[in-house]
Amino acid sequence: MARAKSACEFVAERDESRCVKCQACVRVCANDVHSYDGDTGALFSDYSKCAGCHFCEDICPTGALTIRRNLSDTRENANWTKDYIYKIIRQSENGGVLLTGMGNDRPYRNYFEHIVLNASQVTNPSIDPLREPMELKTFIGRKPDRIEFSGAGKSGGHVLKQKIPPQIELESPIMFSAMSFGSISLNACKSLAKAACDFGVCWNTGEGGLHSELYPYSDRVIVQIASGRFGVNPDYLQRAAALEIKVGQGAKPGIGGHLPGEKVSEEISITRMIPAGTDALSPAPHHDIYSIEDLRQLIFALKEATGYVKPVGVKIAAVHNVAPIASGIVRAGADFITVDGIRGGTGAAPAAIRDNVGIPIELAVAAVDQRLREEGIRNQASLIAAGGFRTSADIVKAIALGADAVYIGTSALISLGCHVCQKCYTGKCNWGIATQDPYLTRRLNPEIGARRAYNLLRAWSLEIKEMLGGMGINAVESLRGNREQLRGVGLSELELKILGIKHAGESW
Amino acid sequence: MMKINAEGMHYRVLNEKIRGALESGLTDISIEGVCGQRYIGAGLKKNGVCITANGIPGNDLGVFMDGPEITVHGNVQDGAGNTLNSGRIIIHGSSGDLLGHSMRGGEIFVKGDVGYRVGIHMKEYKDFYPVIVIGGSARSFLGEYMAGGMIILLGLKKDRRIAGDFLGTGMHGGAIYARGGPDGCQLGKEVKVFKVDGNDKEKIRKYAERFAEYFGYASEEILKEEFFKIVPITHRPYGKIYTY
């Protein structure tokens, strides 16, 4: 009978001439790929267990290990690829739902790769961000319909008549997406939280509650209120900079979350406020939200509970009807909307859902921004895009398509060491990120992690300034929804229409 | 004691008045003319506070509340005690749907009947142990997804079956006690009915006495009839559905 064992995706090639048999690889691999035979002094590798995370390769002091794709292949077949064949073999063994981690890895069209940016030439000057002030400051929250000023203030200036609704102030339009303590380690949470505070952006608890060791970073935390209401109490709501009702997630639109009991350790149980060892089930719907009116009820329950001083947002997955849904959410009173596209990541999701449900964030952001503008309510909520931002250029394009800011998850984890092996759900992350095993989590030093995540924010912010300057724009505010700065390459008329952009070669 | 006349008052103003009163050190607040105002007591975090509401509070009474006691002389609408952390809600009337949704701690006593999906996703944690005591009967989906805590269903009026259908669907923790048993109710596939033991009886007695005291019943009369408990057969109903 076929066995999943033969499905090994990777091989760890050992260069015997370099290997000094220090056994570091044996000690570090949480998947037990490597073993040492004391009698013969030989090292063995069971490739079938290899996740392809490259940790042993990185730690090998003599560079003796190389992780490569397993070239053993099934007969070439455009339909029955090795991947599909082995998925069926694995499922035949226990009849379960196939789990996976990270974002969608299917080759759906990535529109960012078919959009190019503009730059100034001759007729308008570009700006040198190294010499000129360049503003990336972004405010997330409801903006008034109009602003009026009255007479002279104390210092002689004008005084704003309106009371501006609560905002969160970001030094750059990049935030860390919702990743719960539970899906990632406390050291990973600390790294991101500290980086966000140091840089002046926000991080997000996910639906796992707020660990007391993260309280020092709560000035810049967005806390989630999800269907399971784990860890949600008045303290949690009061500490936060902003609140986010989690309705959906790009990696698993329409389905709930499930943290199996074996992963609910003593520490996890404290922040989620459930007994250790019990399943943490986040039902697919919020049981108090079956309509836009119900959503409004929860938004205002949260505003009442926190005295109307924090923005309250709603996160949804990008699905077919995303634009009208977003309109409903704004009308329900949300101060910001988060839309998570089909490439959004996860700690665990059924592969069938992750790989097939939802729409790309590029199209969703364009559609939502367009709809809200048409309805004259775009100012009433900020739009945060999430789901697969790999470079600063993706972010610039998303903002020009209409986003106020973006959430980054996968790229933030890559800054901490993640190699996107997609095995987060096993809880055996060798990089100490998607695991709660103390032997593994201590590999991630939160001080170093924070510095690396900070560096990523800094690097991308510098690049965004460069691109803005090239376009002759000196504030990211002027880029938002500025689709004239974008041109499509190789896109159909319909795609261009949905994105609201012209094709390359068309002038203003 | 502070008296507030809530007639025609927006919930936001009413809640501001309540918060203001608590901040000024008052611990006893009586609200007259309550008529549909939502979120009364939302997110209040203070022990030793008593709020009396005369009339009919709107949805989400005591949502996210942590500590205070609210007594309602009248019925309540949907979502009372939603995500309650601690405190007490005593309802001298009936409740709409979704009473005690996701409550983690605290107590809710209802003299009359309750609507659909009551006690859904209740959970317990360490010293937090949520309890709902219902004098009348419940509609369908009582205790759905329930992960902890206790619901006591007294069915005192006996004018219809004690609960609706899908009782305890998806339940994986906690217990529902039904006076006289859940006769005629369709149970969720995750639960079974058992006779109560000494421990259960002690718990039921404690809360039945409190119920009798709040609403003027004789606890002996309530306790005369036999109780049955509805509990999950597994704490991991979805433990074996994944391929790793």
Please tell me if residue A63 touches chain B, with a CB cutoff of 8 Å: no
In a domain, A158, yes or no: yes
Q: What is the percentage of chain B residues whose pLDDT exceeds 90?
A: 93
CA distance A503 to chain B (A): 44
Q: How far is CA B92 from CA A431, B112, B146, B204, in A?
A: 57, 7, 25, 20
Alpha carbon distance A499, A369 (integer Å): 10
In a domain, A120, yes or no: no
Please tell me if residue A285 touches chain B, with a CB cutoff of 8 Å: no
In a domain, A130, yes or no: no
* Interface subset of A 72-91, CB within 8 angstroms of B: 90-91
Going A367 to A369 to A372 to A374, the CA torsion angle's sign is negative
- Best to test chain B binding among A88, A304, A346, A353 (most B CBs inside 10 Å): A304
Say if residue A152 is in the same domain as residue A227: yes
Residue B53: exposed, middle, or buried by beta-carbon count in 10 A (0-12, 13-18, 19+)?
buried
Say if residue A169 is in the same domain as residue A86: no
Chain B residues close to A258, C-beta within 8 Å: 238
- Best to test chain B binding among A97, A279, A290, A422 (most B CBs inside 10 Å): A279
Say if residue A406 is in the same domain as residue A310: yes
In a domain, A332, yes or no: yes
How confident is the model at residue B240, as a pLDDT? 76
Say if residue A181 is in the same domain as residue A35: no
Chain B residues close to A234, C-beta within 8 Å: 43-45, 64-66, 85
In a domain, A102, yes or no: no
Instruction: Report yes or no: A386 and A361 within 8 Å, Cβ to Cβ.
Output: yes
Number of Cβ atoms within 10 Å of the Cβ of A13: 13
Please tell me if residue A426 touches chain B, with a CB cutoff of 8 Å: yes
| Mean pLDDT, range A325-336, rounded to an integer | 98
Q: In chain B, whose CA is at the least distance from the CA of A279?
A: B236
Residue A35: exposed, middle, or buried by beta-carbon count in 10 A (0-12, 13-18, 19+)?
middle
Q: Would the pLDDT of A72 be above 90?
A: no
User: How confident is the model over A137-146, as pLDDT tens digits?
Assistant: 999 999 999 9
Alpha carbon distance B128, B131 (integer Å): 10
Alpha carbon distance A196, A198 (integer Å): 6
Range of the domain at A222: 138-503
CA distance B84 to chain A (A): 8
How confident is the model at residue A114, as a pLDDT? 98
How confident is the model at residue A98, as a pLDDT? 93
Q: In the beta sheet, which residues pair with residue A246? A: A315
Alpha carbon distance A57, A55 (integer Å): 5
How confident is the model at residue A1, as a pLDDT? 60
Of B42, B98, B238, the CB nearest to A287: B98
Range B94-232: architecture per CATH:
3 Solenoid (2.160)
Say if residue A291 is in the same domain as residue A394: yes
Q: Which amino acid is at B88?
A: R
Size of interface A-B (CB pairs under 8 A): 133
In a domain, A430, yes or no: yes
CATH of the domain at A72: 3.30.70.20
Chain B residues close to A91, C-beta within 8 Å: 243
Q: How far is CA A507 from CA A179, A383, A482, A489, in A?
A: 42, 28, 15, 14
How confident is the model at residue A262, as a pLDDT? 79
Q: What is the percentage of chain A residues whose pLDDT exceeds 70?
A: 98
How confident is the model at residue A5, as a pLDDT? 56
User: How confident is the model over A212-249, as pLDDT tens digits?
Assistant: 999 999 999 999 999 999 999 999 999 999 999 999 99
One-character DSSP codes across A25-69: HHHH-TT--EEEETTTTEEEE-GGG-----HHHHH-TT--EEEEE
User: How confident is the model over A102-131, as pLDDT tens digits?
Assistant: 999 999 999 999 999 999 999 889 999 999
**Closest Cα partner for A178 from A203, A200, A209?**
A203
CA distance A97 to chain B (A): 4
Residue A156 or A469, more confident: A469
Please tell me if residue A283 touches chain B, with a CB cutoff of 8 Å: yes
Of B60, B83, B243, the CB nearest to A229: B83
Say if residue A391 is in the same domain as residue A262: yes
Of B43, B66, B85, the CB nearest to A306: B43
How confident is the model at residue A101, as a pLDDT? 94
Q: Would the pLDDT of A57 be above 90?
A: yes
Contact A273 B101 (CB under 8 A): no
CA distance A379 to chain B (A): 24
Contact B173 A278 (CB under 8 A): yes
One-character DSSP codes across chain B: -EEEE-TT--HHHHHHHHHHHHHTT--EEEEEEEES---TTTT-B-SS-EEEEEEE--SSTTTT-EEEEEEEES-B-TTTTTT--EEEEEESS-B-S-TTTT--S-EEEESS-B-SSTTTT---BTTB--EEEESS-B-SSTTTT-EEEEEEE---S-SS-SS-SSBTTT--EEEEEEET--TTPPBPTTEEEEE--HHHHHHHHHHHHHHHHHHT--HHHHHHS-EEEEEES-S-TTTT-EE-
Say if residue A76 is in the same domain as residue A166: no
Of B12, B66, B240, the CB nearest to A233: B66
Ramachandran class of B181: left when φ > 0, alpha when ψ lies in -120 to 50, beta otherwise: left
- Best to test chain B binding among A229, A290, A298, A303 (most B CBs inside 10 Å): A229
How confident is the model at residue A71, as a pLDDT? 83
Instruction: Report yes or no: A209 and A272 within 8 Å, Cβ to Cβ.
Output: yes
Q: Where are the domains of chain B?
A: 94-232
Q: Compute φ and ψ for A312, nearest 5 degrees.
A: -115, 120
Alpha carbon distance A436, A186 (integer Å): 8
Say if residue A177 is in the same domain as residue A89: no
Contact A234 B39 (CB under 8 A): no
How confident is the model at residue A172, as a pLDDT? 98
Of B44, B144, B147, the CB nearest to A274: B147
* Interface subset of A 231-250, CB within 8 angstroms of B: 232-235, 237-238
Chain A residues close to B66, C-beta within 8 Å: 233-235
How confident is the model at residue A153, as a pLDDT? 65
Strands A280-282 and A242-246: unpaired
Chain B residues close to A232, C-beta within 8 Å: 64, 83, 102
Please list the ranges in chain B whose pLDDT falls under 50: none
Instruction: Report yes or no: A221 and A204 within 8 Å, Cβ to Cβ.
Output: yes
CATH of the domain at A163: 3.20.20.70
User: How confident is the model over B43-99, as pLDDT tens digits?
Assistant: 999 999 999 999 999 999 999 999 999 999 999 999 999 999 999 999 999 999 999
CA distance A286 to chain B (A): 10
Element (H, E) at A174: strand A174-176
Q: How far is CA A494 from CA A198, A484, A488, A503, in A?
A: 43, 17, 11, 11
Domain stop point among A63, A96, A129? A96
Show the tokens assigned to A449. 């992690």
Q: Would the pLDDT of A4 be above 80?
A: no
What is the 3-state composition of chain A as percent helix, strand, coil, each rounded to the nearest 5? 35, 20, 45
Domain count, chain A: 2
Of A93, A232, A283, the CB nearest to B145: A283
Q: Would the pLDDT of A48 be above 70?
A: yes
Mean pLDDT of chain A: 94
> A66-73 contacts: CB < 8 A, separation 24 or more?
A66/A12, A66/A13, A66/A15, A67/A10, A67/A11, A67/A12, A67/A13, A68/A10, A68/A11, A68/A13, A69/A9, A69/A10, A69/A11, A70/A8, A70/A9, A70/A10, A70/A11, A72/A8
Of B43, B102, B173, the CB nearest to A229: B102
Contact B83 A232 (CB under 8 A): yes
Q: To 5 degrees, how large is the angle CA A138–CA A232–CA A418? A: 60
Say if residue A87 is in the same domain as residue A142: no
How confident is the model at residue A230, as a pLDDT? 93
Chain B residues close to A434, C-beta within 8 Å: none
Beta strands in A304-433 (DSSP E): 312-317, 336-340, 349-350, 382-386, 405-408
**Closest Cα partner for A253 from A103, A141, A398?**
A103
Of A91, A96, A301, the CB nearest to B39: A301
How confident is the model at residue B243, as a pLDDT? 80
Q: Would the pLDDT of A481 be above 90?
A: yes
| Mean pLDDT, range A466-494, rounded to an integer | 97
Q: What is the percentage of chain A residues whose pLDDT exceeds 90?
A: 83
- Best to test chain B binding among A86, A266, A287, A298 (most B CBs inside 10 Å): A287
ipTM: 0.95
Instruction: Report yes or no: A257 and A283 within 8 Å, Cβ to Cβ.
Output: no
Alpha carbon distance A397, B126 (integer Å): 48
Contact A304 B11 (CB under 8 A): yes
How confident is the model at residue B139, as a pLDDT? 97
Contact A305 B173 (CB under 8 A): no
How confident is the model at residue B244, as a pLDDT? 75
CA distance A326 to chain B (A): 24
Q: Would the pLDDT of A406 be above 60?
A: yes
Query: Which one-letter DSSP state was computed for residue A16?
Result: T
- Best to test chain A binding among B40, B123, B126, B140 (most A CBs inside 10 Å): B123
Please tell me if residue A291 touches chain B, with a CB cutoff of 8 Å: no
Q: Would the pLDDT of A134 be above 90?
A: yes
CA distance B212 to chain A (A): 30
How confident is the model at residue B241, as a pLDDT? 81
Residue A125 or A315, more confident: A315
In a domain, A103, yes or no: no
Alpha carbon distance A413, A434 (integer Å): 9
Contact A274 B125 (CB under 8 A): yes
- Best to test chain A binding among B15, B102, B171 (most A CBs inside 10 Å): B102
CA distance B205 to chain A (A): 26
Say if residue A144 is in the same domain as residue A43: no
Query: Which one-letter DSSP state was computed for residue A386?
Result: E
Contact A279 B235 (CB under 8 A): yes
Chain B residues close to A282, C-beta within 8 Å: none
Of A94, A301, A306, the CB nearest to B60: A301
Specify the residue for token string 């050992």: A14
Say if residue A178 is in the same domain as residue A78: no
One-character DSSP codes across A74-86: PPP-SSS-HHHHH
**Confidence band, pLDDT 50/70/90 cuts, at residue A264:** confident
Please tell me if residue A301 touches chain B, with a CB cutoff of 8 Å: yes
Say if residue A153 is in the same domain as residue A89: no
Chain B residues close to A90, C-beta within 8 Å: 243
Q: Would the pLDDT of A7 be above 70?
A: no
Number of Cβ atoms within 10 Å of the Cβ of A112: 20
Q: Would the pLDDT of A283 be above 90?
A: no
Residue A498 Cα to chain centre, angstroms: 24
